Structure 1
Amino acid sequence: MGSMSWIHWVVVLLIVVLVFGTKRLGNIGKDVGEAVKGFKKGMQDDDKPSAQLGDESRRNDSNAASRNDEHTPR
């Protein structure tokens, strides 16, 4: 009684198809698949942007320090 039998799942599937239609369900499946692929790609590329940002921020810090030295009154 706690779990649903396969007949219950078939009835639920038929109701979902009747409510949403096969075209919309296909589009939803395609969108979910593309989202998962994008997420996986983002997780793999996660290290690359942070390394680039670290290098850029170090360059900006050194440039700012040299600019401050030039404009410091003596």
Structure 2
Amino acid sequence: MKRTDIRKSVHDFVSLRLDDHQAFADDQSLQALGFDTQDIEDLMFRLEDEFDLTAFTEEEDRLLKEAVTVNDLSRFLQKIARH
């Protein structure tokens, strides 16, 4: 799975959740974009489904605690794609 494909999908999914489809950078804070913990969890599950990936519960829990930026979501998907 290519990093560019993952990045594009993450950006597409985040953009869909933004009311005004504003532009954002990979290092943009998810919280600054208006995402709360529940939104991040929902986004994570949707992205896992998009790529037919499954993470261990402990990995998902860690992401929810540590996901600060859009790039964090991309890195998470890259990591679980290697399982």
TM-score normalized by the length of structure 2: 0.26
TM-score normalized by the length of structure 1: 0.29
Structure number with greater Rg is 1
Structure number with the bigger relative contact order (C-alpha 8 A, sep ≥ 6) is 2
Q: Report the structure, 1 or 2, having the larger helix content.
A: 1
